[in-house]
Amino acid sequence: MERSEARSMVISRQGIVATSQTLASQAGAQVLARGGSAIDAAIAANAVLGVVEPMSNGIGGDLFALYWEAETGQLTGLNASGWAPAGLDIAFLQAKGIVTTPPDGIHSVTVPGCVDGWEKLHQRFGGMAWAELFRPAIYYAENGFPVTEIIADTWQKSICGSSAPATGDIFRNPALGRALELIARDGPEAMYRGPIGESIVATSKRLGGAMAPADLSEYSSEWVEPISTEYRGWTIYEIPPSSQGIAALEMLNLMERFPLGDAADADALHVKIEAQKLAYADLQRYVADPRYAKVPVGGLLSKKYAAERAALIDSKRALSGPRPGSPLAGAGDTIYLAVVDSAGNIASLIQSIYHSFGSGVYVDDWGFHLHNRGALFEMDATHPNALAGRKRPFHTIIPAFMERGSTHIGFGIMGGLNQAQAHAQFVANIVDHGMNIQGALEAPRFTKLNFGGCDVLMESRVPAETRAALEARGHEIEVMGAFSGSMGGGQAVLHDSESGVNYGASSPRKDGAAVPEAPDFWG
């Protein structure tokens, strides 16, 4: 057999859990084996990831999820991103002499939505007792775990020369274990109205922040309707704004206007890169919290608008600074995990504290850091994403789902602004280039982590002759490693509703794996 991917898919009639760290995948698979649902396994795995990959996620961050019910075919979305404290606005920062949104520190902190999101998902789709879901995470927090390779490298780079655990070192976090025990016992009450929340407010007050008890106690995550587009016979779904998923769909609408041919072909890559620039120009201009700004979702996703924007793509020349269009409104660090259970239900879940160790603000006594999502607000009061109290910032993290006929795929790829463009490339790898989900995750990618310009990062596995042809069109390519972390790791699961067979895949850009649920061989 000749193939380009380095590893096989995991294929099973039982459930599969795919995460960025194998201990988390294993914990989720054990939850499935004990009769838990896809959501139960996702919560358990996410809680473990907060322990074993603390620079990327945890109870101090936000969460988004898509959940597909096999029996009904219903896809449900949850936005568990937190709002800014009521007292945190442009005037508050300006009074302190701050003229740009802080990239870290207490003034970048918004309310963490993760724990409330876990409860909402569990109440609606869970089956196992809430407290049981946290046993694996509490175990690793109290007893320790060996730090894995990529996590150890990221940890070392994150703390700027301070002592960080090396690969294989045993790391314990008993303070986080105590926090998880409280959450297991009392639910979100512990986080938003109890001892953990009290420490968040006290920490903020000590550092001069704006967080007040009511900012936590009045917070609630929100069920949302997924947005979608049709791409060459497939339906692709994303979470709606305030997240960037709409940019992935706009990219696909633009890419659909062109034949893409071979994945490594310069013409195909040129179209994808140009589609990214046009979609991201709109992303920067229009996407914000829809409770505070009118986001033209219908216009951005219309095929007519895609045709207008696609006309700006010159097959021979790279765009250096595309401007946002005029759509009419019509009718960092992160973890992503995907779970499919034996019934075929799929959880597509992403959770993050944004930059490595988030805001850098450690919550007194409880072993975790608060995220810095407030860094993504704008200080321009006229911008849709302007900082305001009780407003959610523009968000980068996005879970995704795609389906055609009996094939249903939950997928996601991490990495800040990398995510929407990586989603579009993953979809093209499956739909246009005939790859399976493992090959689609592994395939060499490009990414552009800023707005404007012709610069683009590209993995070295893209052939040299292809890169030369792109450079001749004006693309300024920085060649990265073969499996560069800048391209973001990812996971995917697939359920074939005709055969009942499940498939799982995990990107080699992370430490994780897809782990199948074990049948009860001895029962």
Let me know how long the chain is.
Answer: 523
CB atoms near residue 225 (< 10 Å): 11
Q: Is 271 exposed, middle or buried (0-12, 13-18, 19+ CB in 10 A)?
A: buried
Task: Label residue 279 exposed, middle or buried (CB < 10 Å: 0-12, 13-18, 19+).
Answer: buried
At 174, phi and psi to the nearest 5? -60, -30
Q: How far is CA 348 from CA 190, 266, 351, 515, in A?
A: 26, 32, 10, 15
In 251-343 the beta strands, taken as DSSP E runs, fall at: 333-340
Q: Burial, 464: exposed, middle or buried (Cβ in 10 Å; 0-12, 13-18, 19+)?
A: exposed
Tokens of 66: 């898509």
Selecting among 19, 334, 396, 466, the annotated active-site residue is 334
76 annotated active-site: no
Residues forming beta bridges with residue 234, ordered by sequence position:
231
Check: CB of residue 174 under 8 Å from CB of residue 142.
yes
The structure tokens listed for 314 are 């010159």
C-beta of residue 152 within 8 angstroms of C-beta of residue 164: yes
Contacts 24+ apart (CB under 8 A), 105-108: 105/207, 105/359, 105/360, 105/361, 105/372, 106/203, 106/204, 106/207, 106/208, 106/209, 106/211, 106/359, 106/361, 107/209, 107/210, 107/374, 108/359, 108/372, 108/373, 108/374, 108/375
3-state secondary structure 353-401: EECCCCCCCECCCCCCECCCHHHHCECCCCCCCECCCCCCCCECCCCEE
Strands 170-171 and 227-231: unpaired
CA 125 to chain centre: 21
Catalytic residues: 334
